[in-house]
Amino acid sequence: MIATYEYQCEKCQSVFELGRDWNNRELFAACPFCQSLETFRIFSPVMTLSRGADGSVRSIGNSCGGCTATGCGGCPSSK
């Protein structure tokens, strides 16, 4: 099973995502921006959605309100 993991580059401070299986999540990940191998995996909050009786969708546990039914707005506090 493939999961999406978020990494940050020590050299250029870029944040990027990689799809990897569970067993490879800790392998070195080359930064796609500067090609540095000085990267580390960072915590990525999971977006959880709830559908109301009227069919509306809202995020649960997200205080910034940036997430929608189709994507995450990227809370400044989660970076």
| Cβ contacts of 32 within 8 Å, gap of 6 or more | 14, 16
Q: Is 71 exposed, middle or buried (0-12, 13-18, 19+ CB in 10 A)?
A: exposed
pLDDT tier, 28 (very low <50, low <70, confident <90, very high otherwise): confident
Q: What is the pTM of this model?
A: 0.57
In our burial notation (b when 16+ CB lie closer than 10 A, e otherwise), range 52-62 reads eeeeeeebeeb
pLDDT tens column, 42-79? 987 776 778 888 988 877 765 555 555 555 666 554 44
